[in-house]
Amino acid sequence: MQMDKGPTLPSELGAVSIADEVVSVIAGLAATEIEGVAGMSGGIVGGIAEALGRKNLSKGVKVEVSEQEATIDLSLIVDYETRIPDVAWAVQDKVKKAIETMTGLAVVNVNIHVLGVSFTQETDDESKPEEKGI
């Protein structure tokens, strides 16, 4: 698997390059720290990878990185009974700050796509989390 080469940052001692995958992981981890985010939605391919036992830390994250800027698209699953705009705004703020702090890139956009709602449904013998999405 070949990784996309991210931006190269100038330094007195040499070049520092950050892979796009690193930016994706930072964004995904920052997003899942927000209360109300049940998880990330990676679609069918992400579900297959998880079923095979591989955890994808950049699931549900798409990044476009240029030399000095980044645009992030996040596909989220939110908890039932949360106010979606508040969750989305908190995710946008957290992801922007995390990427800018850790990489030095200017984050131009953090686009949020809510693809599902997670809720807990009580059954006779156990609680089982379920997910409803598009």
Give me the DSSP letters along the chain: -PPPP--EE--SS--EE--HHHHHHHHHHHHHTSTTEEEE--HHHHHHHHHTT---TTTTEEEEE-SSEEEEEEEEEEETTS-HHHHHHHHHHHHHHHHHHHH--EEEEEEEEEEEEEEEEE-SS-EEEEEEE-
Span 88-121, pLDDT tens digits: 999 999 999 999 999 999 999 999 999 999 986 5
Distance CA 123, CA 119 (A): 13
Mean pLDDT for 71-88 is 96
Give the other-Cβ count within 10 Å of 118's Cβ. 18
Span 27-76, pLDDT tens digits: 999 999 999 999 898 765 444 444 444 467 788 999 999 988 999 999 99
Q: How is domain 8-133 classified at the architecture level of CATH?
A: 2-Layer Sandwich (3.30)
pTM of the model: 0.76
| 101, burial (CB in 10 Å: exposed 0-12, middle 13-18, buried 19+) | exposed
Domain boundaries, the chain: 8-133
